[in-house]
Amino acid sequence: MARHERPRTPRQGISRTRVASTAARLMAQDGITDIGLAKKKAARLLGLPESTTLPDNNEVEAELRLYQALYQSETQPAKLRQLREEAARIMEILADFRPYLTGAVLEGTAGTFSAIDLMLFADSAKEVEIFLLDQGMDFEHVEPRHEKAEAALQLFTPRAEFNLLIFPPRMERHTFHHRDGRPRERARLDTVKQLLAHTP
């Protein structure tokens, strides 16, 4: 007789919800930006066994939005706007490298500890580095988080920290994905300006 997968019990469902809400709190309060890391830390804090089924990223993001609405409604929207304004300013400076905004600042879940994620498309990473040096901008090399990125830079401005991922021009039409397989949203400068126009 074939064995069938057991349906999820209410207890498992409660565990997923508790992990998602705890992970969201860790992201909002402690500045953890990696959802996967937040979920694992949340499960450990709750004393759950390693076999516990963890929530997916969508569940954590939903809990994060709820947490921000409940506990950070007076501060998070203003911080998000500030980050989007700074993103637009730097995107204008980097216009020759066809910048796209992505990550929490675009999705609306960015907070106090969030960096601004930009994708750039350039003939060479060195070209971007020389441009930043000529502009007198402060940056450093970091390990790329995407296997097809030519380079990754952390850029520092007085108002924010940026993660710059540099790809070859042919990758601009490529569909990028999150680690869990969801398509990664990205936006050009005109879209970011539209977001700002409709944000308090």
Instruction: Please give the structure tokens belonging to residue 116.
Output: 């601004």
1-10, 60-69, 76-85: which has the minimum mean pLDDT? Answer: 1-10
Q: From CA 154, how far away is CA 124, in angstroms rounded? A: 17
Is CATH 2.60.40.10 correct for 76-197?
A: no
Handedness of CA 181, 183, 185, 186 (dihedral sign): positive
Give the torsion through C-alpha atoms of 46, 115, 36, 109, to 10 deg. 70
Q: Which pLDDT score is estimated for 138?
A: 95
Q: From CA 158, how far away is CA 22, in angstroms rounded? A: 31
- The string of DSSP codes covering 78-122 is HHHHHHHHHHHHHHHHTGGG--EEESHHHHT---TTPPEEEEEE-
Domain ranges of the chain: 10-71, 76-197
Q: From CA 96, how far away is CA 118, in angstroms rounded? A: 13
104-161 tens-digit pLDDT: 999 999 988 899 999 999 999 999 999 999 999 999 999 887 778 889 999 999 999 9
Q: Which pLDDT score is estimated for 145?
A: 75
**Res. 7: pLDDT tops 90:** no
120 Cβ contact partners less than 8 Å away, ≥ 6 residues apart: 94, 97, 98, 99, 128, 164, 165, 166, 167
Burial of 197 per CB tally in 10 Å (0-12, 13-18, 19+): exposed
Cα end-to-end distance, the chain, whole Å = 60
Q: Which pLDDT score is estimated for 9?
A: 45
* Confidence band, pLDDT 50/70/90 cuts, at residue 182: confident
Q: From CA 122, how far away is CA 164, in angstroms rounded? A: 12
17-48 tens-digit pLDDT: 899 999 999 999 888 888 889 999 999 999 88
CA-to-CA separations, 107 to 62, 101, 142, in angstroms, rounded: 11, 10, 24
